[in-house]
Each structure stands twice: as C-alpha cells, then as structure tokens.
Amino acid sequence: MKTRVAIIGAGISGASIARVLSKYENLEVHLIEKNADVGWGVSKANTALIHGGYDDDPEKYPMRAKLCIKGNRLWHEWVKELEIPHIWNGALIVALRDEDFKELEGLLERGRKNGVPEMIIVDKEELFHLEPNLNPEALGGLWVPIVGQIGPIPAVIAIVENAVANGVKLHLETEVRGIKVEGGEVKGVETNNGFIEADIIINAAGLYADEISRMVGVNDFEIHPRKGEYWIFDEDIPGPRRVLFPTPTPKSKGVVVTTEISGHLMIGPNAQDLPKEEKENLATTREGLEEVWKKAKELWPNLPPRSKVIRTFAGLRPEPTGGDFIIRAEKEVWGFINVAGIRSPGLTSAPAIAYEVVEIIRRDLGINLVEKGKWNPYRKKITHFFMLQPEKANELVKENPSYGKIVCRCNHVSEGDILEAIERMKFIGVKTPSIDSIKVRTKATSGTCQGSFCRVRIARILAREYGVDLWNVTLKGKGSEIGIGDVKVLLRGEVE
C-alpha cells in the first residue's frame, strides 16, 4: 500500500518537493493549490535570481546557508532537464564607499564558509571591465560568478509538468480549510472540493504557512509579509550584463539592477514590512517606487526616462519568526512537515529544500522510500516559435499554419504558441481559462504595449479552446472575468 502525501502550496517549494517525491514508487503524491494555476503566490513576483550563497550567516541562519548553495548547484541540472529559461551571468556587490570594503570582506569570508567557489574582491579597474556603465564613483566590488537568473513562474510550470508526468496529482482551485488529526497523526486535508486522505502532509503554503500550521496546533511561529516594489523598462533599454547589488544591510540585500531573463532592465526591490493581516497587499506605492528609483541610480546613474517604463509591480516575501527557513517534522503531530518561512533565498534553495524533505521523511518519519525503475527527469519540449531560425520557422508554419499567425506583436508570440500553452495547461489540469496563464507560458501581454494589442485576441482563443463565452475568460482566475462591467460591452463588439 502506498503512503499518501499531500503537499499544500504549488509554488516553487511545493512544486520542487512534488517533483522529487515523484521519484518514489511507494508514494502517492497530491499537490494542492488554491489558485487557478501554479506559481501565483510568492513565486510570481520576485527578482528571479539564483543566489550565490554568500549572504546567509551559517550560525544565525543555518538552514538558509546550507540550502542556498546546494540549491544553486541543483539548478544547474534542473534548468537543463526542464528547459527553463536561464542565464549564468554572475553578480557584483558594489562598494561605493571605502567602508563598504569591510562588509565585502565579511561576505567573502562567509561565502567561503558556505562553500561558494571563485569569489574574489575586485578593484575599480576590474569592476569596470566586468560592468562598464556602473556609477563612475564605484570603488570596487565582490565578484560572484555562480549567480544566475531564471524565469520563476516558467520554472514552477516546468517542474509541475514534469511532476504530473511522473504521477503527481495536482488539485487546482482547491483551498485547504482544515486538517484532520486523530491519535496524534494526520489523516487528511479538508478542502472546498472535499476531503483528501493523507498519511503525510507537507505545509508549503508560503505566506499562509503559519495559518496552516495552526490547524494542527503548531503555533510557535508567525509569517508576516515583506513587500518589495519593482520597475521594468522597455526591451530596447540597455541594462547591465551582470546582476548588480549594493553592499547589503542587515534587513535587505538592497535594490538590485539587472537585465531580467526576457531582456528588460529591471530595478528593485525595496523592503517594507507589513502587518501579518496584509498578506494580499500587492499595491505599489509612490514612496516605495521612488525609494527604488533613488537607490538604483546609485548603482546605475543613467536610468532611462520614465516614459520608457512599461510596468511597476510588487511582490511579497514570507518573513518568518527568527528569519531562518522552518523545515521540520513536527513532533506533536506525526506526519506533519512544515516547510515555512521560505523567504529569500527561497527560489534558489527550492530544489535543495525538496531533498531536505526527503531526508525528513526517511529519518524522522522512518519511511523507506523505494525509487521507481523508470522516472523521467525531462519534460516535453517546447516549440518556442519566435526563437527558431527562419528556415525551421517556415517549415513549421507549413506543417501547422497557426504558428504563422502572430497574436502578440511585442514578443512575436504566435497562435500556435498559445495553443501549445493551452494544451500544457490542460495537461496539468488548469480548468479556468486565464490570460495570466498564457502570459507566464508565452510572454504574450508582457511586452511594450502590456497587452493592449493582444489581450482580446488571446481571450478569443481561450474562449474557443475552453468552450466558454468570451467575457467569461478571466485575467487571473475566478472573480477576474474580463466581461465584468464596461469591458463586456467592448468585447461584445469584438464578437459581433
């Protein structure tokens, strides 16, 4: 008989755990997510960095220090296996004042303790060789070659596709409302879609991990949201070749200047601690954005004019009591494992967190895990029409004319790309058609016009493929139907 595992939360941590647990034939794995698609919580809005592992004090934050460098190494395998957009371009932590070098020396020593390779402090000449357009007043920096960048939601999607292909059962639009415990052992999860039996429950619920933990009587930590705000510029704006950090503070790694994976200059985040009640507060603020702008200019003084900004946004990080990751089997309730407080560097650490959970299941729960004879580490190849060479693109259009119909002009996304994305959505079980689900799979609506040209065209394809009225297509799941209010009148004109 298989051991039933329920993972709460299909963000980067929960998805990674599901993928790794799918390797074992004696586990039946269920991945539970309250949103209409995967990766729409904490994983959706962040700086998308694979950190180097030099920042976390191994004495103060042992779990973060251990798992960050392990995660960095694992990502080098995972991005290849899962075809995740990535770049290994390295990071510079920049010294703008003489006193900053003392902090850089501390980071260098800490990084060496954590096992970070090839870190060096560079002088001004080498600094500007690595990044010529920095603030000319910069004095030097710490060079960390192993830092990289990925697409965070494409990463979650890729991991979940692979997990589902290997037998994981994904439950979308499924909100956990209670956990059944009998005789000191977990028995299952109460949800809006019924009861899911489970012998092991893994709490990877991000900002809500403390609330899930309290459902089984474990209440020795709290999660509060820390907001970070960002600016993104049009794609024709030159950005840095490396990831640029200021010298960090005790509260934050600081405002980063980088060229994100799609080629857009991005600056942010700041760090604003919010009350624990504001776990859905994703509003940007004038004060916060101005703070980001001012601090970014200290590194990158030639910021483009604000007319070149295509978007601002905010993300929330789950800050735990004590600051370190909380990854443990709870002694009070057998079978309940907390994976809570996964703040930065959580994205980097996610693959290593998954293997840490495997060890907890073996060591603390005493379960012998039996590996499958056949486990597929790869996911189905993506066409990426806009990346094909002209001759191959022409061949594909002859085979499938939908790839010759451009829907998103900014990012050259074709109808074929969108149909492929919908096929992948249906494969993992996305029931509610949403424009955001297409956006994160194809980059449509994320270019210069931010969807003003293609949004309705995408909605029409979604409506056709899902068999719903156009105005019942959503922006980001139920409750965000694009036909609400005056928009429905406009869409009716599109239909007619």
Same domain? 440 vs 352: no
HSE on the CB side for 242, CA within 13 Å? 25
pLDDT tens digits for range 451-473: 999 999 999 999 999 999 999 99
Same domain? 398 vs 476: yes
Residue 80 belongs to domain spanning: 1-84+151-222+321-380
Please indicate, yes or no, whether the overall pTM of this predicted structure exceeds 0.75.
yes
Average pLDDT over residues 313-329: 97
pLDDT at 388: 78
Q: Is the pLDDT of residue 496 over 60?
A: no
* DSSP SS3 for 75: helix
* DSSP SS3 for 59: coil
Of 54, 72, 270, 26, nearest to 141 by C-alpha is 54
Buried (b) or exposed (e) across 172-201, using 16+ Cβ within 10 A? bbbebeebbbeeeebbbbebeeeebebbbb
Percentage of residues of the chain with pLDDT beyond 90: 91
Same domain? 369 vs 389: no
pLDDT tens digits for range 335-360: 999 999 999 999 999 999 999 999 99
Question: Is residue 330 within 8 Å of 195, Cβ to Cβ?
Answer: no
The catalytic residue positions are: 51
Would residue 268 count as lying in a domain? no
Of 380, 402, 418, which residue constitutes the final position of a domain?
380
Same domain? 368 vs 435: no
Question: Is residue 160 within 8 Å of 425, Cβ to Cβ?
Answer: no
Average pLDDT over residues 317-346: 97
pLDDT tens digits for range 129-141: 999 999 999 999 9
Whose tokens are 């049009």? That residue is: 234
* DSSP SS3 for 35: coil
pLDDT at 385: 75
Task: For residue 184, give the DSSP letter.
Answer: T
Average pLDDT over residues 48-68: 96
Cα–Cα dist 327/340, whole Å: 6
Cα–Cα dist 63/349, whole Å: 10
Same domain? 361 vs 332: yes
Same domain? 329 vs 462: no
Q: How many domains are contained in the chain?
A: 2
- Name the token pair of 243: 């990831």
Average pLDDT over residues 265-287: 96
